[in-house]
Amino acid sequence: MGTMAKSGGIGTMANTYGYCAILDGQFGCKSGYNTSDGLVVAIVYENRWFNTQNDGLVGVIYNPNYSVGCTSRTSDFEGGANFPAVLDDKVSSVRTYNGCDITLWSRSGLQFEGTSWIHEEDDLNPSGWNNVASSFEIS
């Protein structure tokens, strides 16, 4: 999402969102990929409960090379990146897709403290992770 392009609307969502292409074993959002390639692995939301109202930001994380999805092992590093400034310390809910899980990190570069593997969390507040994450990894 460091190279996320902002646009308006994913399906029925009419908010500001961006895309981050990640690749297996690599860190950082990659440019030069079509957002229609591959599979979505996670979507992060500025608002809790996957709420896209009130101009909530939405970040779509995808792997342009995937046709099947993530492996079932959480020991595989299937990509990660820093959140861009507009989502840094602003993620409040997250949902993963295609067999993937996400770990959120409190500092950029997958540093300091990380969550356990998350498949879906509609409210990061009870776990103390609301508006805390600066980077993420996918497995």
> Is 32 a domain residue?
yes
Chain segment 97-117, per-residue pLDDT in tens:
999 999 999 999 999 999 999
Range of the domain at 39: 7-138
Chain segment 5-52, per-residue pLDDT in tens:
333 333 334 456 789 999 999 999 999 998 889 999 999 999 999 887
> Is 90 a domain residue?
yes
> Is 39 a domain residue?
yes
Count how many domains the chain has. 1
Residues in CB range of 70: below 8 A, 6 or more apart: 41, 76, 78, 98, 99, 100, 101, 138, 139
> Is 67 a domain residue?
yes
Chain segment 43-91, per-residue pLDDT in tens:
999 999 988 777 788 999 999 999 999 988 888 999 999 999 889 999 9
> Is 2 a domain residue?
no
> Is 1 a domain residue?
no
CATH code at 128? 2.60.20.10
> Is 19 a domain residue?
yes
**What pLDDT, on the 0 to 100 scale, is given for residue 95?**
95
